[in-house]
Amino acid sequence: MPGPEQRGGSQRPLTVVQVLPALDSGGVERGTLEVAQALVRAGHRSIVISAGGRLVPTLTA
């Protein structure tokens, strides 16, 4: 199925929510940060929901 840009329409920014228990060190946590940062760089909105953790400052930077 063609995307909006292929149909001549404009693509609206996405809002993506990622939920995980905590943002401590680990593969899932780092992947969550990478996806969140890539979404923001692409002009989208990223929301990460967790109970906190040592990687929170990286997310909010």
**What tens digit of pLDDT does each residue of 8-60 get?**
557 899 999 999 999 998 999 999 999 999 999 999 999 999 999 999 999 88
| Residue 3, pLDDT above cutoff 70 | no
Q: End-to-end distance of the chain based on CA atoms, in angstroms? A: 36
- Look at residue 55 and tell me if it is in a domain: yes
- Look at residue 9 and tell me if it is in a domain: no
Token code pair at residue 20: 């995980």
pLDDT score at 46: 97
pLDDT score at 36: 97
- Look at residue 4 and tell me if it is in a domain: no
- Look at residue 10 and tell me if it is in a domain: no
Rg, C-alpha atoms of the chain:
14
Could you tell me the residue range of the domain that residue 21 belongs to? Answer: 15-60
| Residue 5, pLDDT above cutoff 60 | no
pLDDT score at 9: 58
pLDDT score at 53: 96
Host H or E run for residue 10: none
The structural domain count of the chain equals 1
